[in-house]
Structure 1
Amino acid sequence: MEFKAYAKINLALDVIGKREDGYHILKMIMQTIDLYDIVRVSKKSSSGIKLESNTDKIPLDNTNIAYKAAELFIKTYDINSGVNIYIEKNIPVEAGLAGGSTDAATVLKAMRNIFKPDLTDKKLAQIGVKIGADVPYCIFGKTALCEGIGEKVTPIKHLKGNILVLVKPNFGVSSREVYEEIDKSKLKNHPNTDIVLKSIRNEDFKLLYSNLGNILESVVLDKHPVVSQIKKEILNFKGLCSLMSGSGPTVFGIFEDMLSAQKCYDYMKTKYDEVFITRTI
């Protein structure tokens, strides 16, 4: 099986509490974008999992979340066969774009098709949340409200066709470290997720662009001023808005036309290695 494993951005991300087990309670609006890894999964006659990739930026052992997904599926359904997994990596690593989670979700989908074709997305999501909070969303994709630790996924009206420029600075950010810093911070300027929801439903894009928000910026921008600089530069190139995605450090901007997006892309490529023009899908 060969699948596209799509990245995501956050149109809104808020931390509204913390559970006793240490997981943060979130309220987010997630959006699939047309940037993807290619994931190939094949059944093999012997047991075990073999994971390969076109990059050395990800682990190829049982610490990889895609490997964990295959391992959990095999254990859950008592599968006798092993699998070969190949990940063609295009989504930046440690970027706030759910690159690892979407690979894991895609492995679950592929293994369903190979071994258990009658499984629903909802059942896959129940498996996926055991290995990563973003995995359930990545199984469903599109535009969705995600609550709890991310496992409560409610589809909303699709936001498709918006032109995006993504800029990842030349470093990665650990999600765990960002959330640890959030615990030490007095959170201010929470995004108004309800207004973002309303603006999407009403297709009020002016209202939407002026209300996008990510509470995690309060941590990352202090530690990495370049993220703030990228946000400003995107706006200077006629970006309708700019926001950090997830725990960062990737920043995205939404553009009204491809010409403005291309000018921004060309400039950013002179400064950063990982820059993309893409769309919401």
Structure 2
Amino acid sequence: MEIIEKAPAKINLSLDVLSKRSDGFHEMEMIMTSIDLADWLTFTLQEEGTIQLTSDSSFMPHDERNIVFQTALLVKNRFKITQGVSIHIEKHIPIAAGLGGGSSDAAATLRGLNRLWEMDLSLDQLAELGEEIGSDVPFCVYGKTAYATGRGEKIELIENIPPCWVVLVKPHKGLSSWKVFENLEVEKLPHFDTQAILEAIEAQSYTDLVKRAGNALEGISVLQQPKIEKIKERMLKFGADTALMSGTGPTIYGLCKHHSRAKRVVNGLKGFCDEVYLVRTLK
């Protein structure tokens, strides 16, 4: 028996850090949406009870250090599953990019094993399980557009954003989320009107959405990766309606309402960056 799951990347339309919590995490307020850049995970039933992980990528571990392996082991132990699984990851989302690739792979693993091992859990139950794996995993379980609070694990699904094109640029050097949050001075960060962004989405106003979108961590990440600012400037110069960092970076995305404008932005970035993608938002 074989099951295939799509694991879409995500971008942050807004990211606000409200405070540092007593547990060491930060209280967040975010709006995230899934995009049509995805990894593909194939799950094959194994009767001998072992977990095997393979991938076409040499840039990530294929053992207990991998979030997919950890997720499969958690599910197997929690629900006392005697069967095993062979998991293959076809990797397309850049690693350590702020696009939620690892979290989306973990979420796809929850969905895939739920079907493979016939556990009959709801998406809400899978999302609750995902909280134990990572802050972005619950959002990725649903894979739509959502308002997220807490450390990112409290999810309220909202209407999809107005359809548009997304130009993604991943600088060669990745960024560690831990390094971005380390010694973060919350009181010095900019803040964004998340409610206004929610209202723009509800009204399906693309113009208001691109005007209001923002990421409070961008300035911190730019200090560690100055090329982020240069990529943003280039995107806007060639016609992107807005250009923002996703998550903790370093990936920058530009939104374009029209495909012709998005192609112009892509052409303007060729030769300047190696990893450039042109995708759509997911319906």
Partner of 2:276: 275
Task: Tell me which amino acid in the other structure corresponds to 2:92.
Answer: N
State whether residues 164 and 258 of structure 2, in contact with CA within 8 Å, keep that contact through their aligned partners in structure 1. Answer: no
Partner of 2:53: 51
Partner of 2:18: 16
Partner of 1:123: 125
Deviations 1:15-49, CA, capped at 9 Å, x for gaps: 11222221111110000000000101111021221
CA distance in 2, matches of 1:220, 1:169: 12
State whether residues 168 and 250 of structure 1, in contact with CA within 8 Å, keep that contact through their aligned partners in structure 2. Answer: yes
State whether residues 239 and 264 of structure 2, in contact with CA within 8 Å, keep that contact through their aligned partners in structure 1. Answer: no
Give the alignment of 1:241-260 within 5 angstroms: 241-260=242-261
Measure how far apart 1:161 and its partner are: 2.4
State whether residues 181 and 219 of structure 1, in contact with CA within 8 Å, keep that contact through their aligned partners in structure 2. Answer: no
CA distance in 2, matches of 1:151, 1:249: 22
Task: Tell me which amino acid in the other structure corresponds to 1:246.
Answer: G
Measure how far apart 1:117 and its partner are: 4.2
- Residue 176, structure 1, aligned to residue 178, structure 2: yes
CA distance in 2, matches of 1:254, 1:3: 27
Q: More deviation in 41-50 or 26-35?
A: 41-50
CA distance in 1, matches of 2:161, 2:119: 29
State whether residues 189 and 217 of structure 2, in contact with CA within 8 Å, keep that contact through their aligned partners in structure 1. Answer: no
Deviations 1:246-277, CA, capped at 9 Å, x for gaps: 00000000112212211221232312121100
What secondary structure, in the 3-state scheme, does the structure 2 residue paired with 1:210 have? Answer: helix
Q: Where do 5+ consecutive residues of structure 1 fail to align?
A: none
Partner of 1:140: 142
Change (3 A) 1:149 1:185: closer
Partner of 1:84: 86
Equivalent of 2:154 in 133, 152, 155: 152
CA distance in 1, matches of 2:186, 2:130: 30
Measure how far apart 1:158 and its partner are: 1.0
Measure how far apart 1:160 and its partner are: 4.8
Q: Where do 5+ consecutive residues of structure 2 fail to align?
A: none
Partner of 2:233: 232
Task: Tell me which amino acid in the other structure corresponds to 1:13.
Answer: L
Q: Number of aligned residue pairs: give it.
A: 280
Task: Tell me which amino acid in the other structure corresponds to 1:58.
Answer: M
CA distance in 2, matches of 1:116, 1:175: 35
Equivalent of 1:100 in 82, 102, 106: 102
Deviations 1:192-235, CA, capped at 9 Å, x for gaps: 11111111101222221111111110201122211011111111
CA distance in 1, matches of 2:193, 2:262: 27
TM-score (norm: length of structure 2):
0.96
Measure how far apart 1:150 and its partner are: 1.4
Measure how far apart 1:151 and its partner are: 1.5
- RMSD of equivalent CA atoms: 1.2
What secondary structure, in the 3-state scheme, does the structure 1 residue paired with 2:159 have? Answer: coil
TM-score (norm: length of structure 1):
0.96
Measure how far apart 1:185 and its partner are: 5.6
Deviations 1:130-167, CA, capped at 9 Å, x for gaps: 01110000001111001111111101111152111000
Partner of 2:27: 25
**Consecutive aligned runs of 4 or more in structure 1 exceeding 3 Å deviation:** none
